[in-house]
């Protein structure tokens, strides 16, 4: 029996490289999708510069108003990796060398020149933290309270998410169902509004596109209740057909 | 002579589709790059759900602590497009139909079935707003005070940015120079730190990668001062070479 409470998470993406436009973020979307499967909703994301005070401020605001807070980025070996320091500041705890993290790094770097000062930075954690397994490279992720500090490199984050799968308490996963039509969304706005209004607990998102010289849109119905979702989907499909559009199940 | 003051902007990405993971955001990166060229730094991004109060709260916090605030998304014709309402609430002004926007839409939709209720939503603006030209489709963007409300669809936003180019007061553009090396960043962390420390006003970002079975990293030096940037780049290159790595100008 699934839990009917709604669980929420926030995400802080840490890194000047996202704010400068140099790097295209890929973690928001992969963490959002992973959270959906855990029955947790991503409610807010902030992208913050490599700045101690800005990170600490965002950490304290978001960890208090969400069940979970994830961060990505800033846990590597270089001078611009300050997430552990900023989180420790926010939580008012010391930074310590985690003995298991140190052992993992010593093993990982045994045939790669050993652990130097930069590499040892990756064993630093806020006092009281546990490690999150890194299945891709050496340095682990970090959990402390409801905070999860993940890597910035998307495929390393993916491995950490995999290691966390099933370990977070969540509610009913958010289900979705998609319909598509070659309809300008401006022609069927009232159909969407009526369908959403008539089905409590359902949300309808409208995502227009322009392809092969023609406009169309996909309509994503979302609900945690499978029955409501299906009822809303059927009503929306009927409304769109009544408005004169052919509807494609699963979207275009 | 360029202005030495630092101008900052924030961005609010509005839309459940980003938070659900359905859509991969592309606006953060394109707006960040465009701002750099205008001499304005993107300091913070928030991704917010389609929720009036959450949007209004973020608008009021971010418009006050930045020179400019951009939003993307939520200015279309459907029920989930509530950016204009949320911004009007934040600014405590009425929502009005902008006569020029209405005329633009009437012309655009003249041979597409005319302006209906949904389409007329796209002429709604906070009282006192000006329009931002939309070179791709009908509905314009909106400027009020230091707020710029842009489309969610990236190529429409691109057209609006193009229309705004050169119209925002900015400082010296942030310059950057990239070096690459097949070096594990954990081996050269001290070289990076030393180079950054020795060159005031320069920041060095380290961006590791894993290609063809080997790790490497690109190092991006950023400064608004071309001379400092070049001095720092030369020093960093020498440091990396001294550490035994071949350095590629422009990055790998």
pLDDT of A63 strictly over 80? yes
Confidence of residue A230 (pLDDT cuts 50, 70, 90): very high
CA dihedral B59, B62, B66, B67 (to 10 degrees): 0
pLDDT in tens, chain B (252 residues): 345 788 999 999 998 999 999 899 999 999 999 999 899 999 999 999 999 999 999 999 999 999 999 999 999 998 889 999 999 999 999 999 999 999 999 999 999 889 998 899 999 999 999 999 998 888 999 999 999 999 999 999 999 999 998 899 998 888 899 999 999 988 899 999 999 999 988 889 888 888 888 889 999 998 888 999 999 999 999 999 999 999 999 999
**Helix A189-198 and helix A226-242, axial crossing angle in degrees, nearest 10:** 150
A106 near B CB under 8 A: no
pLDDT of residue B5: 85
pLDDT of residue B175: 87
B chain contacts of residue A21, beta-carbon cutoff 8 Å: 28-33, 35-36, 42
Q: Please say whether the beta carbons of B124 and B95 come within 8 A.
A: yes
pLDDT of residue A1: 39
Q: Over the stretch B183-219, which tens digit does the pLDDT of each residue have?
A: 998 889 999 999 999 998 888 988 888 888 888 999 9
Mutate to test the interface with A, among B189, B206, B216 (most CBs of A within 10 A): B189
CA B93/CA B129 separation, integer angstroms? 10
A165 near B CB under 8 A: no
Residues A76, B153: C-beta atoms closer than 8 Å: no
Query: CA dist A163 to A14, A159, A201, B43, B210, Å?
Result: 21, 6, 31, 32, 21
Mutate to test the interface with A, among B8, B16, B22, B40 (most CBs of A within 10 A): B22
Tell me which H or E stretch contains A7. strand A7-14
ipTM, two decimals, is 0.84
- Rounded to the nearest angstrom, the gap between the alpha carbon of residue A77 and the centroid of all alpha carbons in its chain is 24
Mean predicted lDDT score pLDDT of chain B: 92
Mutate to test the interface with A, among B8, B55, B57, B78 (most CBs of A within 10 A): B78
pLDDT of residue B106: 94
CA A26/CA A92 separation, integer angstroms? 30
Name the 3-class secondary structure at A196: helix
Q: Which of residues 8-47 of A touch B (CB under 8 A)?
A: 13, 16-26, 28-33, 35-36, 41-47
pLDDT of residue A213: 80
Determine the average pLDDT of the residues in A9-26. 93
Mean predicted lDDT score pLDDT of chain A: 92
B244 Rama sector, left if φ>0, alpha if ψ -120 to 50, beta otherwise? left
Residues A189, B31: C-beta atoms closer than 8 Å: no
pLDDT of A226 strictly over 80? yes
pLDDT of residue B44: 97
CA distance A142 to chain B (A): 19
The minimal CB distance from B46 to the residues A45, A192, A220 is found for A45
- DSSP bridge pairs for A215: A210
Is B251 buried (19+), middle (13-18) or exposed (0-12) by CB count in 10 A? middle
Q: Which residue of chain A is at minimal alpha-carbon distance from B55?
A: A44
pLDDT of residue B1: 39
Residue at token pair 């489309």: B151
Residues A220, B17: C-beta atoms closer than 8 Å: yes
Q: Please say whether the beta carbons of B203 and A51 come within 8 A.
A: no
Mapped to the 3 state alphabet, what secondary structure does chain B carry?
CCCCCCEEEEEEEECHHHHCCCCCCCHHHHHHHHHHHHCEEEEEEEEECCCHHHHHHHHHHHHHCCCEEEEECCCCCCCCCCHHHHHHHHHCCCEEECHHHHHHHHHHCCCCCCCCHHHHHHHEEECCCEEECCCCCCCCEEEECCEEEECCCHHHHHHHHHHHCCCCCCCCCCEEEEEEECCCHHHCHHHHHHHHHHCCCCEEEEEEEEECCEEEEEEEEEECCHHHHHHHHHHHHHHHHHCCCCEEECCC
Q: Over the stretch A199-217, which tens digit does the pLDDT of each residue have?
A: 988 889 888 888 888 889 9
CA dihedral B231, B237, B240, B242 (to 10 degrees): -90
Helix%, strand%, coil% for chain A, nearest 5: 40, 25, 35
Angle at A186 between CA B92 and CA A234, to 5 degrees: 110
CA distance B152 to chain A (A): 10
pLDDT of residue B125: 97
pLDDT of A43 strictly over 70? yes
Residue at token pair 């720092």: B232
User: What domains are there in chain B, each with its CATH number?
Assistant: 7-164 (3.40.980.10), 175-249 (3.30.70.260)
| Closest C-alpha among A196, A249, A186 to residue A221 | A196
| Closest C-alpha among A202, A210, A207 to residue A236 | A202
pLDDT of residue A3: 53
> Across the beta sheet with B147-150, what order do the strands follow?
A130-132, A141-144, A147-150, A68-72, A7-14, A40-48, B40-48, B7-14, B68-72, B147-150, B141-144, B130-132
Token pair for residue A92?
């008012």
Confidence of residue A22 (pLDDT cuts 50, 70, 90): confident
């Amino acid at each position: 029996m699934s839990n009917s409470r709604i669980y929420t998470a926030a995400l802080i993406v840490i890194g000047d490289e996202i704010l400068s436009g140099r790097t295209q973020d890929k973690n928001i979307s992969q963490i959002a999708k992973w959270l959906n499967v855990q029955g947790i909703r991503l409610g807010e994301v902030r992208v913050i510069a490599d700045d101690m005070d800005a990170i600490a401020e965002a950490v304290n605001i978001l960890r208090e108003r969400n069940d979970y807070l994830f961060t990505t980025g800033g846990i590597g070996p270089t001078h611009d990796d300050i997430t552990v320091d900023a989180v420790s500041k926010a939580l008012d705890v010391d930074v310590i060398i985690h003995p298991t993290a140190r052992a993992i790094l010593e093993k990982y770097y045994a045939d790669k020149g050993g652990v130097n000062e930069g590499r040892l930075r990756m064993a630093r954690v806020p006092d009281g933290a546990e490690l999150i397994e890194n299945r891709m490279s050496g340095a682990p992720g970090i959990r402390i309270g409801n905070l999860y500090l993940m890597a910035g490199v998307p495929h390393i984050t993916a491995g950490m998410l995999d290691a966390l799968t099933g370990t977070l308490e969540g509610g009913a996963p958010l289900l979705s169902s998609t319909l598509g039509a070659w309809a300008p969304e401006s022609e069927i706005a009232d159909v969407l509004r009526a369908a959403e209004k008539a089905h409590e607990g359902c949300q309808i998102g409208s995502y227009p596109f322009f392809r092969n010289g023609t406009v169309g849109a996909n309509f994503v119905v979302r609900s945690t209740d499978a029955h409501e979702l299906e009822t809303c989907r059927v009503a929306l499909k009927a409304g769109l057909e009544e408005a004169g559009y052919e509807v494609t199940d699963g979207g275009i």
